[in-house]
Structure formats: C-alpha cells, structure tokens
Amino acid sequence: MPPSRRDFLKGAVGVAGAAIGAPLAGSGSAGARLAPNLGPISIPSLMSVPGISPVEHVVVVMMENRSFDHFMGWLPGANGIGVDPDGTVVDEERFASFTYQDTKGKQHGIYHEHQFNGCGLGDQDHGYTGGRIQWNNGAMNGFAKDPGNSAYALSYYLAGQRTFTSPLAMHYTTCDNYFCSILGPTYPNRFFQHAAQTDRIDNTMAPTGSHLPVAPATVPTIWDRLNQPGGPSGRYYFSDVPFTALWGAKYLPISEPYPSFLVDAAAGTLPNVSFVDPRFLDEGSGTSGDDHPLADIRAGDAFLSEIFHAVANGPLWSKTVLIINYDEWGGFFDHVAPPTAAPGNQYIDTSDVVRDASGKISKVLTGFRVPCIIASPFTKGSPDNPRLSSYAYDHTSVLRFIQWNWKLNPLTPRDATMPMFGAWPRHLTNLAFTFDFVHPKLAVPDLPQLLPFVSTGCDIPGSPAAGPVIGAPTAAPSRPPGEWGELMKSDLMKGWR
C-alpha cells in the first residue's frame, strides 16, 4: 500500500536551525529574550498539553480580504453602519454619514450588494500605497478616490447572505475593533499571523532585501515556539497552497492537507494549536474558497460551516476556542481609523510611523478593521443580544493568547505588547470580557450545516458586466494575477509535492 500524504509529511525531515533572539524592546519585561529553537521542529505530539486556562485547543482560520463594515456592519450592538441584519436603517444619521467623494468631486453612498461573487465588480485595491489613499491620514474617506477601486468598494452584505457565518456571530462573540496587523496586502498580514512581523511589504516570493526573485523567509514563527520537547503542539493545515511554503520546506513536518484536519477533529487528535487555511487558487476566476474577490461568498461560508461543525461535534469541543479572522480589508470601506502599535521590526514598515528621540520606530499603523468571530463554550452568548468584545486587537492578539496560555515567550515587540482577547498583558483579570472560563456553555446551537459550495466561476456566459468605476479609471489590482499560482510553481514548493 503506498504511503499516505500524512505518512509522507510525518516522515519528512524538517530543518529548523537554532535562533536565539535579542532582548525585546517594549516587551514590558526587562531583559525578556526570545526563546531559542531547541532543535529541528518535531512531528506534533498526539497528547495535548494543558494550558493555564481551561483552553487546550486553539483553532485559527484566516480568510481573505473583507472589512468589518462591508461584511458585518449589520451586527446588532456593534460599531457598524446603522442597519439591522435585514438591512433596515436603524440609525439614519450614522448610515447617511457613509458618503465618499471621488476625484471629480462626486459623492457616493454605500449600497447593499446582492451579487454573491465579485464577477465583473473587480478586485479592490488593498496594497500598501492604496491603503494610505483610503486611510487619508485617519479621515477614512479615500475609498472612492483610490484609482484602483470600483463602486464595489462601497458595498456591504447583510446577514441573510451568509447563512452560516451570520448566525455563528449572533450566537458567539464577535470582535468589532479587530484590525489587520499592517495596512497592506495578504502576505504581510499572514506573516504577522504566523510571526508577529513581516519581512516584506508586498506579495512577493522573497523577503525584502534578499535581492532574489525567490528566497525562503527566515523570520521565526509561532511554530518555532510549539512542537518542542514537553511543550504544546501545533499543526498547520492547508487546502491547496501552503502559506508556510514561503519558509521553504522548514515547516513541512508540521503541515498537513485540510482533510487531515477533519479526521483529527473527529478523532480528538487535534494539536494544541491548529491553523487552517482555505482554498486560495483561482481567486481571479471566482472559484476559490477564501472569500477573496472574485470568490463567491457562499463557498467561504460553507467552508467555515464545515470547520465549525467538525470541531463542535468532536470530542474536544469542551476545551476548544475557534477563531475566524480575515487577513486584511480587501479595499472595502470601513469607518474606524486604525490605531498604532509597536512595530514587528525596524526595517519593513517605515511610512507613517512614530519615532523616539533616537530615531527608532516606536509605533506603526495597524491596518483596517476586519471581521473576527470567536466561537467556544467560553464565548457563547445569545442571538437576542449578540456578545461583543471591543478591545483594539490585531492578528498578534491571537499569538498573545497562545503564548499566555502555554507560557511561551513572545516573538516580537508587537505580540509582546498587543492586548490579547479581553485583556492587556499584566491585567489578566479582564479576560472575562471575552472568555467566561467559570460558566462555559457546552450546548452547541442549531446552526446550518452547509454542503460544500462549488462556484461555476466568472468565465461563463451571463457573467455580470463590469461595475461602475469611481473617479479615475481603475488601475491594475494590487494583487498580481495568479499570485498563489506563482507560489505553487516556485522553488519554494520543493518537497511539498
């Protein structure tokens, strides 16, 4: 019998050199140092390691390219757009405030988008430069002035268009001040989710400064803190393109295809920390499953439904936290200006920063708000009054919780100083704002269990016509066409297939 994909992955040899870090600036603890790698990354243990809270399993699912106002501005009680789940305007003054002037001086309001996919509507600008046009020094009014945007940037969806994710938010806890980590595109933000820093500004195949078209990343990640002898375990599950391949083959031993996640969830063999990625390929044709335009949002909804039910119906639900977030805003409008935070490093994000007297960067911009839902017996609320957590979080807040729960050292000044869910470091008594560890609610609500959704894509007869352009003619999208395909074809994939 030929070896399975899992057998192959578990038999692969991982090469992860030791890396001892320097003291963390601004970590809140004098002399704090990055934990060294103790040796090559090992295959995750099947035995979970208890944390200091009742949580023994954290599952993180990062979707793509939607802002909070665009996707969840309807959520009752949240800092949204002034409509209820059905679209009825409940705060006329707030709703009327969402007007955006284009480069010709014309005003545009936001509108309810009925089309489930983005065919003909365009991938909106979500690059480092475009984000700053939209941010406009904190005025948050440049979405119609960005030449890379169409009217789609001013659209919003309502609860009924996400038949699983919307009721999930209503029954559990939603963060309505959760920001992506950098005002830039996918790769930099996904680097922050794994590493609490990025080594590049754009979606490139090599770190900035490498002077190579393709080169593996070398920044340490949460996976270097996990899978060490006697410590908590971690595994990365991918659907088609493994993001961790940007580090070359280093994380191959702890990576497995998505079906293995469903097996592990059902068998109760999930590691302490699981990251699960959706289908990335073919975003440009509208057939991906990650919510990235031009994708059909019903495909992403079905994917999240499958993940939730796999975990909630499995034997580990009583001690699991499922975190669903989005890597960045995708160019879509949002009204909350991003806060500043400690930098991940000193050499990448250097625009719109605050420097101290010595010239060292002390604060950088985070990115725009994105959806984040935390589903767990410790976060269950009532759909009659949806549960909200409004601390200013970013992707590294997820890392901060993992590190706190299993007593791991931070990776960079960013995750050392960002609040984790419900609490600032050193003020952990406020955890109840997000997690109720005293009164967990194990009963799983009757949420829709959706079948996988297969999109027919955009290149078919009857595809919608292109949406109206705002302001100047649209520029090329900030995400190069076929980007995930470029990674799949690159030398970084050696050993993965």
- In this prediction, residues 185-206 reach a mean pLDDT of 96
At residue 454, the pLDDT reads: 85
User: Crossing angle, helix 258-267 and helix 297-312, to 10 degrees?
Assistant: 30
At residue 100, the pLDDT reads: 97
Per the CB < 8 A criterion, the answer to whether 301 and 371 are in contact is no
**Residue recorded with tokens 């200006």:** 337
The residues with which 236 forms a beta bridge, in sequence order, are 255, 275
At residue 474, the pLDDT reads: 38
Instruction: Kindly state the greatest CA–CA separation across the chain.
Output: 68
Omega cis (within 30) before 183 = no
Comparing CA positions, the residue from 362, 426, 371, 364 lying closest to residue 395 is 371
**What is the C-alpha to C-alpha distance for residues 420 and 401, in angstroms, rounded to an integer?**
5
- In this model, does residue 39 exceed pLDDT 60? no
In tens, the pLDDT along 445-482 reads 999 999 999 888 886 544 444 444 454 333 334 344 46
At residue 263, the pLDDT reads: 97
Per the CB < 8 A criterion, the answer to whether 364 and 128 are in contact is no
Token pair recorded at residue 239: 């659907």
- In this model, does residue 131 exceed pLDDT 60? yes
Domain ranges of the chain: 5-11+39-493
Q: Give the phi and the psi of residue 235 in degrees, each rounded to 5.
A: -145, 145
Range from 7-21, 128-142, 400-414, 426-440 carrying the lowest mean pLDDT: 7-21
Q: Give the phi and the psi of residue 266 in degrees, each rounded to 5.
A: -70, -35
- In this model, does residue 5 exceed pLDDT 80? no
* Reported pTM: 0.88
**What is the C-alpha to C-alpha distance for residues 225 and 90, in angstroms, rounded to an integer?**
47
At residue 473, the pLDDT reads: 35
In tens, the pLDDT along 240-252 reads 999 999 999 999 9
Long-range CB contacts (within 8 A, 24+) of 418-423: 418/341, 418/342, 418/393, 418/394, 419/391, 419/392, 419/393, 420/393, 421/175, 421/374, 421/389, 421/391, 421/393, 421/397, 422/389, 422/391, 423/391
**What is the C-alpha to C-alpha distance for residues 27 and 416, in angstroms, rounded to an integer?**
5
- In this model, does residue 221 exceed pLDDT 80? yes
At residue 230, the pLDDT reads: 87
Token pair recorded at residue 300: 């992403």
| Assigned CATH for 5-11+39-493 | 3.40.720.10
At residue 108, the pLDDT reads: 96
At residue 469, the pLDDT reads: 45
Q: Give the phi and the psi of residue 260 in degrees, each rounded to 5.
A: -65, -30
In tens, the pLDDT along 356-372 reads 999 999 999 999 999 99
- In this model, does residue 29 exceed pLDDT 60? no
- In this model, does residue 16 exceed pLDDT 80? no
At residue 433, the pLDDT reads: 58
- In this model, does residue 169 exceed pLDDT 60? yes
- In this model, does residue 283 exceed pLDDT 80? yes
- In this prediction, residues 257-278 reach a mean pLDDT of 97
At residue 251, the pLDDT reads: 94
- In this prediction, residues 134-151 reach a mean pLDDT of 96
**What is the C-alpha to C-alpha distance for residues 270 and 262, in angstroms, rounded to an integer?**
9
In tens, the pLDDT along 58-101 reads 999 999 999 999 999 999 999 999 999 999 999 999 999 999 99
pLDDT grade, residue 388 (50/70/90)? very high
At residue 470, the pLDDT reads: 53
**What is the C-alpha to C-alpha distance for residues 202 and 206, in angstroms, rounded to an integer?**
10
CA distances from 240 to 4, 122, 280, 425 (A): 17, 23, 7, 36
At residue 431, the pLDDT reads: 42
pLDDT grade, residue 28 (50/70/90)? very low
Comparing CA positions, the residue from 423, 345, 424, 366 lying closest to residue 178 is 366
Token pair recorded at residue 298: 């019903």
In tens, the pLDDT along 293-343 reads 999 999 999 999 999 999 999 999 999 999 999 999 999 999 999 999 999
Range from 1-5, 10-14, 120-124, 206-210 carrying the lowest mean pLDDT: 10-14
pLDDT grade, residue 419 (50/70/90)? confident
**What is the C-alpha to C-alpha distance for residues 394 and 369, in angstroms, rounded to an integer?**
9
| Residue 23 buriedness (CB in 10 A; 0-12 / 13-18 / 19+) | exposed
Mean pLDDT, the chain, as a whole number? 86
At residue 45, the pLDDT reads: 64
**What is the C-alpha to C-alpha distance for residues 164 and 303, in angstroms, rounded to an integer?**
10
